Amino acid sequence: MGEPINDVALAHFLLTGGLLFVLGMIGFLIRRNLIIMFLCTELMFQGVAVTLVAFSKFHLDVSGQTFVIFVLTIAAAEAALALGLVVLLFRSKHTLDAEAWGELNG
Protein backbone atom coordinates (compact mmCIF):
# COMPACT_ATOMS: atom_id res chain seq x y z
CA MET A 1 0.00 0.00 0.00
CA GLY A 2 2.86 2.31 -0.80
CA GLU A 3 5.06 4.42 1.43
CA PRO A 4 4.05 5.47 4.94
CA ILE A 5 3.46 9.16 5.50
CA ASN A 6 5.75 10.93 7.97
CA ASP A 7 4.57 12.44 11.24
CA VAL A 8 4.40 16.00 9.85
CA ALA A 9 1.93 14.85 7.18
CA LEU A 10 0.04 12.82 9.82
CA ALA A 11 -0.32 15.94 11.99
CA HIS A 12 -1.87 17.78 9.06
CA PHE A 13 -4.33 15.04 8.39
CA LEU A 14 -5.26 14.75 12.06
CA LEU A 15 -5.73 18.50 12.25
CA THR A 16 -8.07 18.36 9.24
CA GLY A 17 -10.03 15.49 10.78
CA GLY A 18 -10.26 17.22 14.14
CA LEU A 19 -11.32 20.47 12.46
CA LEU A 20 -14.09 18.67 10.56
CA PHE A 21 -15.24 16.97 13.75
CA VAL A 22 -15.31 20.16 15.82
CA LEU A 23 -17.05 22.10 13.05
CA GLY A 24 -19.68 19.39 12.87
CA MET A 25 -20.13 19.39 16.62
CA ILE A 26 -20.49 23.16 16.83
CA GLY A 27 -22.95 23.08 13.96
CA PHE A 28 -24.94 20.34 15.68
CA LEU A 29 -25.05 22.25 18.96
CA ILE A 30 -25.99 25.70 17.69
CA ARG A 31 -28.26 25.11 14.70
CA ARG A 32 -31.96 24.26 15.11
CA ASN A 33 -32.77 23.06 11.62
CA LEU A 34 -33.05 19.29 11.67
CA ILE A 35 -31.52 18.83 8.23
CA ILE A 36 -28.55 21.05 9.04
CA MET A 37 -28.05 19.20 12.31
CA PHE A 38 -28.12 15.98 10.40
CA LEU A 39 -25.54 17.25 7.91
CA CYS A 40 -23.35 18.27 10.85
CA THR A 41 -23.37 14.75 12.24
CA GLU A 42 -22.24 13.57 8.80
CA LEU A 43 -19.43 16.12 8.98
CA MET A 44 -18.32 14.65 12.33
CA PHE A 45 -18.39 11.23 10.72
CA GLN A 46 -16.06 12.34 7.96
CA GLY A 47 -13.67 13.90 10.45
CA VAL A 48 -13.34 10.55 12.16
CA ALA A 49 -12.97 8.80 8.79
CA VAL A 50 -10.12 11.10 7.76
CA THR A 51 -8.35 10.41 11.06
CA LEU A 52 -8.74 6.67 10.57
CA VAL A 53 -7.36 6.75 7.06
CA ALA A 54 -4.43 8.92 8.19
CA PHE A 55 -3.48 6.52 10.97
CA SER A 56 -3.90 3.62 8.58
CA LYS A 57 -1.43 5.21 6.20
CA PHE A 58 0.94 6.08 9.05
CA HIS A 59 1.04 2.55 10.50
CA LEU A 60 0.71 0.82 7.13
CA ASP A 61 -2.25 -1.12 8.46
CA VAL A 62 -5.22 -1.67 6.10
CA SER A 63 -7.72 -2.32 8.85
CA GLY A 64 -8.26 1.42 9.38
CA GLN A 65 -9.23 1.92 5.74
CA THR A 66 -11.36 -1.21 5.74
CA PHE A 67 -13.13 0.20 8.71
CA VAL A 68 -13.76 3.46 6.93
CA ILE A 69 -15.31 1.64 3.97
CA PHE A 70 -17.69 -0.06 6.36
CA VAL A 71 -18.47 3.22 8.09
CA LEU A 72 -19.26 4.89 4.75
CA THR A 73 -21.55 2.04 3.72
CA ILE A 74 -23.43 2.16 6.97
CA ALA A 75 -23.51 5.97 6.90
CA ALA A 76 -25.19 5.79 3.48
CA ALA A 77 -27.89 3.46 4.80
CA GLU A 78 -28.27 5.51 7.93
CA ALA A 79 -28.56 8.72 5.94
CA ALA A 80 -31.45 7.29 3.93
CA LEU A 81 -33.20 6.26 7.13
CA ALA A 82 -32.53 9.51 8.99
CA LEU A 83 -33.68 11.70 6.12
CA GLY A 84 -36.86 9.66 5.93
CA LEU A 85 -37.39 10.27 9.63
CA VAL A 86 -36.78 13.99 9.18
CA VAL A 87 -39.42 14.08 6.44
CA LEU A 88 -41.89 12.33 8.74
CA LEU A 89 -41.15 14.75 11.57
CA PHE A 90 -41.65 17.66 9.18
CA ARG A 91 -44.97 16.29 8.03
CA SER A 92 -46.39 16.06 11.53
CA LYS A 93 -45.28 19.51 12.72
CA HIS A 94 -44.81 21.43 9.45
CA THR A 95 -41.53 22.78 10.68
CA LEU A 96 -37.94 21.61 10.78
CA ASP A 97 -37.20 23.32 14.08
CA ALA A 98 -35.81 20.84 16.63
CA GLU A 99 -37.32 22.93 19.44
CA ALA A 100 -40.78 21.95 18.21
CA TRP A 101 -40.14 18.50 19.70
CA GLY A 102 -39.22 19.89 23.11
CA GLU A 103 -42.49 18.54 24.48
CA LEU A 104 -40.90 15.09 24.54
CA ASN A 105 -39.20 16.08 27.79
CA GLY A 106 -39.22 14.02 30.99
Partner 1 sequence: MAVETLKFLPWIPLLGAVLCAICCTSPALRRLAGAICVLSVASALALALGVYFGPQSQAALSGTTVHALRWIDVHSFSAGFSYYIDGLTMIMLFVVTGIGALIALYATGYMKGDRGYARFFFGVCLFIFAMTTLVMADSLVLLYLGWEGVGLCSYLLIGYYYDKPFAVEAAKKAFIVNRIGDLGFALGIFLTWTTFDTVSLHEAIEKARHILEHGGEITTAMQCIPFLLMAGAFGKSAQFPLYVWLPDAMAGPTPVSALIHAATMVTSGVFMIARLIPIFELSTYALPVVAIIGTFTALLAATIALTNNDLKGVFAYSTVSQLGYMFLGVGVLSTTGGIFHLFTHAFFKALLFLTAGSVMHALAGQLDIRTMGGLRKRMPVTCWLMFAGCLALAGVPPFSGFVSKDMILHDALARGLHGEPLFFVLAIAGLFTALLTAYYTFRLWFRVFMGPERFEMGEEHGHDEHAAHDEHASGGHGPHEMPWWPMNLPLVVLAIGAIAAGILAEYVGGEHGWMHTMIEHSTASVEHEFHGELFGLSLHSVMVVLSLLIAALGIGTAAYLHWLRRDAAGVLEQKFAPLVKLLVNKYYVDELYDLAIVRPLRGCGKFFNLIDDYLIQGFLVQIVGGWGPRLVGYVLKPSQSGRLQSYGVGMAVGVVIVMVILIFKLTGN
Contacts with partner 1, residue ranges (CB under 8 A): 25, 28-30, 32, 37, 98-99, 101-106
Question: Least CB distance from residue 97 to partner 1, whole Å?
Answer: 10
Neighbours of 22 (CB within 10 A): 13
Closest CB to partner 1 among 5 and 98? 98
- Total residue count of the chain as it appears in this document: 106
Please state at what angle helix 7-30 crosses helix 34-59, rounded to 10 degrees. 170
Closest CB to partner 1 among 66 and 101? 101
Question: Least CB distance from residue 98 to partner 1, whole Å?
Answer: 5
Identify whether the C-beta of residue 89 lies closer than 8 Å to the C-beta of residue 101.
Answer: yes
Closest CB to partner 1 among 20 and 37? 37
Closest CB to partner 1 among 33 and 65? 33
60: left (phi > 0), else alpha (psi -120 to 50), else beta? left
Question: Least CB distance from residue 2 to partner 1, whole Å?
Answer: 31
φ/ψ of residue 2, rounded to 5: 80, -165
